[in-house]
């Protein structure tokens, strides 16, 4: 579910939005002030999101100074990120986890195998490229069969976004899109992107019919194993959901400062 983080929040309306992004070096906080002052003086805006900002730092001080001059309200958020450390390989990762975690993996593998033979497929960096289009279609189908959509068709804009993302990064050898089937029937899918030895998750879904088997958790372990074999040292999963405590090695802070004109009613929503 989306989370509400603004003290001024009362309602939300979905509309066509325009987004722009830019990066600022850590040792030049004055650029942040100049940017905020310029926007406040010349442009109407609803919300500015500044990622990686910690209170008490020169960057936050620059935001506070501009906020006072430009009559902006500031909201701070922290949505931790789940991390899996694969730097020493998959087996070392498992050994570093609890004994209960390892027992749970064995029981889950047994339950899945008793239901039907598990099989993994998809596009994994430079392998399986010839199955890209069929993998994308399976991603759509599994998402539609999940609790999120309950059989409804995935919206065309979401299809376009996921499809374009998969195709563009597959061409760069950075797509990791894995599908799990059990007994010849698709059960779960997880999609992520790999850059410089880090895997960043994009979406995960499972067919509701297989929910009792926790196919998403099973598939995630297969993905971790494959990533480690390919030299990936870190998995980054956005959203601090409790279920990720079972397989992540740590949760790390994900801080952001939101600036908005005073008097506006804003919802700050993060959905994962």
pLDDT by residue (tens digit) across 139-166? 999 999 999 898 999 999 999 999 999 9
List the structure tokens of 113.
């195998």
The full length of the chain comes to: 272
Q: Which residue has the tokens 């299809």?
A: 159
List the structure tokens of 213.
């088997």
Helix (H) or strand (E) holding 114, with range, is helix 99-115
pLDDT at 227: 98
**Phi–psi pair at 3, nearest 5 degrees:** -110, 140
Largest CA distance in the chain: 66
Distance from chain centroid for Cα 67: 30
pLDDT at 82: 94
Give strand pairing partners of 193: 175, 200
**Phi–psi pair at 54, nearest 5 degrees:** -110, 140
- Inter-residue contact 53 to 60 (CB < 8 Å): yes
Report the SS3 class of residue 6.
Answer: coil
pLDDT at 254: 86
State which residues of the chain have pLDDT below 70.
1-22, 264-272
**Phi–psi pair at 124, nearest 5 degrees:** -125, 90
For strands 234-238 and 198-206, give the pairing. parallel
pLDDT at 12: 32
């Amino acid at each position: 579910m989306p989370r509400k983080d603004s003290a001024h929040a009362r309602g939300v309306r979905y509309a066509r939005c325009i987004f722009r992004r830019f990066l600022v070096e850590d040792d030049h906080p004055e650029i942040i002030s100049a940017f905020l002052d310029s926007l406040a003086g010349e442009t109407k805006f609803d919300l500015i999101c500044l990622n990686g900002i910690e209170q008490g730092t020169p960057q936050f001080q620059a935001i506070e100074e501009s906020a006072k001059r430009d009559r902006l309200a500031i909201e701070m958020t922290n949505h931790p990120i789940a991390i899996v450390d694969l730097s020493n390989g998959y087996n070392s990762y498992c050994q570093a986890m609890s004994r209960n975690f390892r027992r749970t993996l064995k029981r889950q593998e047994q339950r899945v195998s008793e239901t039907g033979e598990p099989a993994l497929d998809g596009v994994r960096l430079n392998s399986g490229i010839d199955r890209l289009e069929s993998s994308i279609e399976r991603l759509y189908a599994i998402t539609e069969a999940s609790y999120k959509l309950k059989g409804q068709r995935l919206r065309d804009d979401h299809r376009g976004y996921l499809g374009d993302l998969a195709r563009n990064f597959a061409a760069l050898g950075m797509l990791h899109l894995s599908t799990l089937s059990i007994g010849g029937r698709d059960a779960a899918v997880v999609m992520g992107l790999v850059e410089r030895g880090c895997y960043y998750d994009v979406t995960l879904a499972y067919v509701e019919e297989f929910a009792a088997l926790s196919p998403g958790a099973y598939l995630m372990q297969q993905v971790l194993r494959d990533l480690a074999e390919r030299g990936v040292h870190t998995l980054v999963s956005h959203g601090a959901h409790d279920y990720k405590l079972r397989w992540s090695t740590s949760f790390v802070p994900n801080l952001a400062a939101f600036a908005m004109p005073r008097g506006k009613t804003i919802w700050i929503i993060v959905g994962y």
